[in-house]
């Protein structure tokens, strides 16, 4: 099997350096939206072009296996062309989400990624530093940016399951950043992967019975900001698990129990601080599934995938545009 080597610059993509610098100064966060198929990618590009937002397109290892690396490279190039066709040449980054080895990071860099994450958060501290440095050296030689992670998030990310989270230690974050030279740092302040971010017993209930999760640890974020004022911070597991979609799924044959996410006002606050990218994956999955379930339930005779995927795509685009405007604050910043 031969895979053609290509630089992201030939695909018209951008790394994260400029994006994050502007986001840090401007008090907003860039969306980190994951995709696995054409409809999700179309929705992301349409929403970000419409709202004039820069965007980080994220692919996990699982997505790369699902969609095929050659297909994905052409899809990323297609995304750049699509934005151009819409009349908005927004900055687009292609980012590896949760890379777990030097070899995998290299293979992504060699096939058109403009940014990679090396997630060594589960490794012993010194080992995380050692491998992060190797990834960064290889990436920086090719003008690719690198996100690292410190502190463990609870929840499920692909096959990685962490039972409980460990908050990031701000002093360790400062030491880690200095020693590795990473371009951005994912930290753990109480976000969590998946659609069941918290157990009901960890939450409080409002008078109307809505579960409110424990607040994010803004004190940790502030300490990190003091020690590392120039470092772009990334929040993973930051979907809000929008109740409307959960309800729609459950009303149409689904069974999602106790789905709880991060309230959007807390994400808005983090975006105004030193958080430069907020990763949103579960909300996209929920929106798509909700619309597909509802459409198929309401119209049992349809069998053309365009009919339910098209509706799901439209809803996704609306949701992403709203996130850019109301949660991340990235709308209108593509041409800063
Ligand atoms: Zn993540």
pLDDT for position 1: 60
Percent of the chain with pLDDT over 70: 95
pLDDT tens digits along 153-176: 766 555 454 555 688 999 999 999
pLDDT for position 159: 45
pLDDT for position 3: 74
Strand order in the sheet with 154-157: 160-162, 154-157, 192-193
Q: Which of 18, 97, 110, 143 is catalytic?
A: 97
8 A C-beta contact, residue 174 and residue 228: yes
Q: Is residue 97 among the annotated active site residues?
A: yes
CB within 5 A of ion ligand 1: which residues? 157, 236
pLDDT for position 166: 80
What pTM value is reported for the model?
A: 0.94
Residue 1 Cα to ligand 1 middle (Å): 30
Residue 186 Cα to ligand 1 middle (Å): 9
* Helix/strand/coil for 148: strand
Residues 91-98: what's their mean pLDDT?
97
Residue 21, pLDDT > 50, answer yes
pLDDT tens digits along 102-132: 999 999 999 999 999 999 998 999 999 999 9
Residue 79, pLDDT > 80, answer yes
Residue 236 Cα to ligand 1 middle (Å): 4
**Residue with the larger pLDDT of the pair 83 and 69:** 83
Percent of the chain with pLDDT over 90: 82
**CA distances to 193, 196, 241, 261, 314 from 253, in Å:** 24, 18, 18, 21, 22
For residue 235, the cross-strand partners are: 278
Residue 204 Cα to ligand 1 middle (Å): 25
Residue 60 Cα to ligand 1 middle (Å): 9
* 280 exposure class (CB count in 10 Å sphere: 0-12, 13-18, 19+): buried
Cα separation of the two ends of the chain: 42
Residue 258, pLDDT > 50, answer yes
pLDDT for position 129: 97
The DSSP letter of residue 325 is I
pLDDT tens digits along 279-306: 999 999 999 999 999 999 999 999 999 9
8 A C-beta contact, residue 155 and residue 98: no
* Helix/strand/coil for 158: coil
d(CA 317, CA 42) in angstroms, rounded, equals: 8
d(CA 66, CA 60) in angstroms, rounded, equals: 10
């Amino acid at each position: 099997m031969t895979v053609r080597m290509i630089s992201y610059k030939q695909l018209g993509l951008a790394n994260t350096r400029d994006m994050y610098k502007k986001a840090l100064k401007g008090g907003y966060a860039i969306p980190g939206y994951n995709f696995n198929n054409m409809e999700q990618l179309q929705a992301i590009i349409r929403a970000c072009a419409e709202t004039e937002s820069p965007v980080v397109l994220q692919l996990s290892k699982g997505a790369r296996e699902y969609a095929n690396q050659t297909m994905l490279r052409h899809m990323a190039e297609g995304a750049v062309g699509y934005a151009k066709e819409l009349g908005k040449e927004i900055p687009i980054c292609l980012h590896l989400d949760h890379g777990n080895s030097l070899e995998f990071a290299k293979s992504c860099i060699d096939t058109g990624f403009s940014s990679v994450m090396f997630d060594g958060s589960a490794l012993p501290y010194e080992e995380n530093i050692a491998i992060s440095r190797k990834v960064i050296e290889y990436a920086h030689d090719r003008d690719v940016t690198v996100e690292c992670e410190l502190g463990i998030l609870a929840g499920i990310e692909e096959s990685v399951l962490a039972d409980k989270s460990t908050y990031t230690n701000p002093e360790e974050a400062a030491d880690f950043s200095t020693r590795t030279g990473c371009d951005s740092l994912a930290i753990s302040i109480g976000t969590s992967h998946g659609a069941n971010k918290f157990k009901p017993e960890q939450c409080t209930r409002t008078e109307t019975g809505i579960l409110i999760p424990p607040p994010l640890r803004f004190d940790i974020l502030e300490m990190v900001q003091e020690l590392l004022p120039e470092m772009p911070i990334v929040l993973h597991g930051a979907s809000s698990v929008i109740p409307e979609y959960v309800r729609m799924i459950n009303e149409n044959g689904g069974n999602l129990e106790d789905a709880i996410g991060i309230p959007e006002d807390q994400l808005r606050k983090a975006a105004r601080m030193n958080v430069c990218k907020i990763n949103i994956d579960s909300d996209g999955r929920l929106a798509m599934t909700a619309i597909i379930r509802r459409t198929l339930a309401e119209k049992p005779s349809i069998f053309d995938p365009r009919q339910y995927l098209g509706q799901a795509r439209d809803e996704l685009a609306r949701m992403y545009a709203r996130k850019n405007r109301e949660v991340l604050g990235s709308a209108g910043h593509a041409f800063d």
